């Protein structure tokens, strides 16, 4: 059975980092109640990064980071290569198990973070821009989320009709093998991040 949740950014609780370098607001985690230090399968969060410093290492975790505000960040990995994430709203993926130093490019940033656990869980993050149109998509994955970046949209899935404000998230979950559709209705211009998480190899059918 489809389960839809409207998660308002204003309701998210900030959790300061132990090193004082930033604050994280967890949007959702699966399974519910799992801790970020435990065996979670997936996690969505928004972080405010105030200072440069080492990134937490998450062995077996794939990560996608998207800069929401600010000039960007450079990830210097211990192996010697690096990843520059300096384009607003453009997702960048990397192995969360690799040790790296995060170096702010031009001051503090706000970012959106998606994490999933290998080998059974996979994710994809896409930038979606709408201009006075309706986008209909099939719900092929067990977890689908839409994080609104700008503008206003109404998301429809079954009997659920939800109006999102910027940085609000609509999270839709369903069982393996269950299908459905959702419609994103935009009267003007809007931008969003669409997250699809595949749990089919770990969740019971």
- Structure confidence at residue 180 (pLDDT): 87
Q: Quick one: pLDDT at residue 34?
A: 87
- In this predicted model, what pLDDT tens digit does every residue of 35-67 receive, in sequence order? 887 789 999 999 999 999 999 999 999 999 999
Residue 205 has pLDDT above 60, yes or no: no
**What are the pLDDT digits (tens) for 10-33?**
999 999 987 778 999 999 999 988
Same fold across 7-117 and 122-198: yes
The reported pLDDT for the residue numbered 204 is: 52
Domain ranges of the chain: 7-117, 122-198
As a whole number, mean pLDDT of residues 68-87 equals 94
- The pLDDT tens digits of the residues spanning 107-136 come to 999 999 999 999 999 999 999 999 999 999
Task: Tell me if 40 sits within 8 A of 30, measured CB to CB.
Answer: yes
Listing from the earlier edge strand, what are the strands of the sheet with 134-138?
Answer: 134-138, 181-185, 153-157, 160-164
More confident of the two residues 191 and 187: 191
CATH top class, domain 7-117? mainly beta
Can you give the pLDDT at residue 203?
Answer: 54
pLDDT tens sequence across 192-202: 999 999 998 87
Q: What's the rounded mean pLDDT across residues 87-91? A: 98
Rg of the chain (C-alpha set) = 17
Say whether pLDDT at 7 is over 80.
yes
Give tens-digit pLDDT for 133-180.
Answer: 999 989 999 999 999 999 999 999 888 899 999 999 999 998 888 888
Q: What is the CATH code of the structural domain delimited by 122-198?
A: 2.60.120.10
Predicted TM-score (pTM) of the model is 0.94
Could you tell me which residue, 37 or 182, shows the higher pLDDT?
Answer: 182
Residues 3 and 173: beta-carbon distance below 8 Å: yes
């Amino acid at each position: 059975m489809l389960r839809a949740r409207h998660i308002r950014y204003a309701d998210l609780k900030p959790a300061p980092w132990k090193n004082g370098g930033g604050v994280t607001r967890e949007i959702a985690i699966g399974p519910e109640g799992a801790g970020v230090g435990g065996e979670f399968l997936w996690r969505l969060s928004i972080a405010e990064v105030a200072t440069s410093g080492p990134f937490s290492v998450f062995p077996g975790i794939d990560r996608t980071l998207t800069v929401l505000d600010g000039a960007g960040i450079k990830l210097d990995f211990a192996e010697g290569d690096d990843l520059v994430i300096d384009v607003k709203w453009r997702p960048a993926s990397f192995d969360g198990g690799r040790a790296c130093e995060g170096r702010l490019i031009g001051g503090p940033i706000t970012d959106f973070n998606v994490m999933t656990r290998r080998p059974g869980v996979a994710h994809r993050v896409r930038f979606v821009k709408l201009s006075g149109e309706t986008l209909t998509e099939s719900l092929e994955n067990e977890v689908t989320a839409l994080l609104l970046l700008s503008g206003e949209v109404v998301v429809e899935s079954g009997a659920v009709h939800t109006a999102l404000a910027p940085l609000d998230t609509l999270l839709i979950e369903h069982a393996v093998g269950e299908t459905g559709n959702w419609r994103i209705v935009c009267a003007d211009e809007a931008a969003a991040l669409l997250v699809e998480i595949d749990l089919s190899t770990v969740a019971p059918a």
